Amino acid sequence: MALLGRAAIAMWWDISPERKAEFEDWHSHEHLPERLAIPGFRRGSRWAAADGGPGFFVLYEPDDYETLTSPH
């Protein structure tokens, strides 16, 4: 999968099992749509740990670094 922009934000989050459903709901319905509504954000994705562990990998693909420092 090629990046859509010229920059990236990569995050790894561990979420406790009792908060996992809440996190997934918040990230899918609130956080991700808010970020993608910012001009210059091209794509966002969330990946679950292959071993079923508590981890998530989150990747945001903005057009460029300047998108990350905008006043929006």
What is the reported pTM? 0.83
Q: Would you state the pLDDT for residue 68?
A: 86
If DSSP codes are grouped into helix, strand and coil, which group holds residue 24?
helix
- In which residue ranges of the chain is pLDDT below 70? 70-72
Ordered DSSP codes for 12-43: EEE--GGGHHHHHHHIIIIIHHHHHTSTTEEE
Neighbours of 49 (CB within 10 A): 13
Decide if domain 9-68 falls under CATH 3.30.565.10: no
Q: Measured in Å, how far apart are the chain's first and last C-alpha atoms?
A: 28
Domain ranges of the chain: 9-68
Residue 67 CB neighbours (<10 A): 20
